[in-house]
Amino acid sequence: MNFLADPITFIIEWLRNLLIGWGLSAGWVTFVMKLLGVAVVGSFGLVLVIFLIWLERKVAARFQQRLGPNRVGPWGLFQTFADVIKIFTKEHITPRGVDVVVYNLAPLISVGAVILLWAVIPFTPNAIGADLNVGVLYLVAVGALGTLAILMAGWSSNNKYALLGAFRTVAQMVSYEVPMVLALLIPVLLSDTMSVNGIVKAQSVIFLVVSPLAAFLFFISSLAEIGRTPFDLLEGESEIVAGYHIEYSGLKFGMFFVGEFLHAFTVSALFAILFLGGWRGWGVEQFPILGFVYFMLKTFAVYFVVMWFRTTLPRVRIDQMLDFNWKLLTPVGLILLVVTAILQKIILVSAVPLWVAVIVHLATSLLIGWATVQIIKARQARRPRRQPVAQPRPVARPPEATQA
């Protein structure tokens, strides 16, 4: 095995031989290797966040015609390190009346739930933590833990704003899980496997082209899952102060912050894997390490779009958020799933060439999307949207003025 072509496998093999050379049994070697893998992938994610925060601030600043952090280090690159050191030295405040165990557990689960997602992400063709045969289902399962963390934080803080934030979160996350699962099932149908690496391998034509509508649904619903603008009702600074993490200070707040950023990056990675072909690219067969480069490039491209959304769109209201999910995304997702399943079965039975299958799927996807837009337009023409105008408000008058 050549080091330059595939350094990850090379290092793994070298370590394995080293450990066997030390006289460990095969089971223990696997155990130690898995443990090291967990440590490496987890630390990689956490270190990445330091860079992501800088990137986000810089990109957001450019969108808003500012400069962003530019004092500490070149291009302000070390700004986040300064912030991290500051947050380390801050006081941990535990307010009176909180449920101490749950209160302290919530930030840990919030970060842990995100890092757990990285276990099934294939970085290169053969560098994957665990290639589960139910990988896609695992992604959904772990996503539920994030909801739990926020609910725990909101309840244990003993604060009405935190509780309101938690209620909103659950409404949002449980609702948007439905279209997300529906959209996740489309790559599963197209690739005939639930293993994440299998889905990447099946994308000789990337699924963004095969089923753009599914990609769209997945992107919107994962934006809602990570609670970013336009779906940041769970924090809503101007309405419920900060939502579920209002009572957290110091590093505990930092954990929520890290979890949020890492989650945004992780769903970008998932989008890149499920719809953009993950590590696929030119020359991956000879040099598997190139797969990592392609994967990161695609992920950062998606992450840029996420940041773009965040900096340009305003926050939606809670009724709009729920309407959008249950009256638009979920029905469209259901229709798309049923149609794709039938088409895929016909394609499998009739054994048509790949390009025909792609064109058929693409045409259906676009047709459903177009029909949805037409229906929405027709509905709006029938019942035009109420324009928000300032209503004359009753003015409070002293009692004698009204009697006279």
List, in sequence order, the alpha helices (H) in 276-329. 289-312, 318-323
Nearest to 50 by CA among 203, 213, 254: 254
One of 6, 56, 83, 177 touching other proteins (CB under 8 A): 177
222 lines the binding site for other proteins (CB under 8 A): no
318 lines the binding site for other proteins (CB under 8 A): no
In angstroms, give the least distance from the CB of 97 to other proteins.
Answer: 13
In angstroms, give the least distance from the CB of 72 to other proteins.
Answer: 41
Q: Name which of residues 97 to 156 contact other proteins (CB under 8 A).
A: 99, 102, 132-134, 137-138, 140-145, 147-148, 151-152, 155
Number of residues engaging other proteins in binding (CB under 8 A): 24
3-state secondary structure (DSSP) of residue 3: coil
Is 193 or 372 the residue whose CB approaches other proteins more closely?
193
Cβ-based neighbour number of residue 119 at 10 Å: 20
Is 2 or 133 the residue whose CB approaches other proteins more closely?
133
Q: Name which of residues 233 to 262 contact other proteins (CB under 8 A).
A: none
Could you tell me the two tokens for 197?
A: 């690496």
Could you tell me the two tokens for 61?
A: 């600043």
What backbone torsions phi and psi does residue 311 show, to the nearest 5 degrees?
-85, -10
One of 61, 170, 189, 318 touching other proteins (CB under 8 A): 170
3-state secondary structure (DSSP) of residue 108: helix
One of 27, 314, 392, 394 touching other proteins (CB under 8 A): 27
DSSP letters spanning 329-393:
IHHHHHHHHHHHHHHHHHHHHHT--HHHHHHHHHHHHHHHHHHHHHHHHHHHHHSPPPP--PPPP
Is 138 or 207 the residue whose CB approaches other proteins more closely?
138
Residues in touch with other proteins (CB under 8 A): 27, 99, 102, 132-134, 137-138, 140-145, 147-148, 151-152, 155, 163, 167, 170, 174, 177
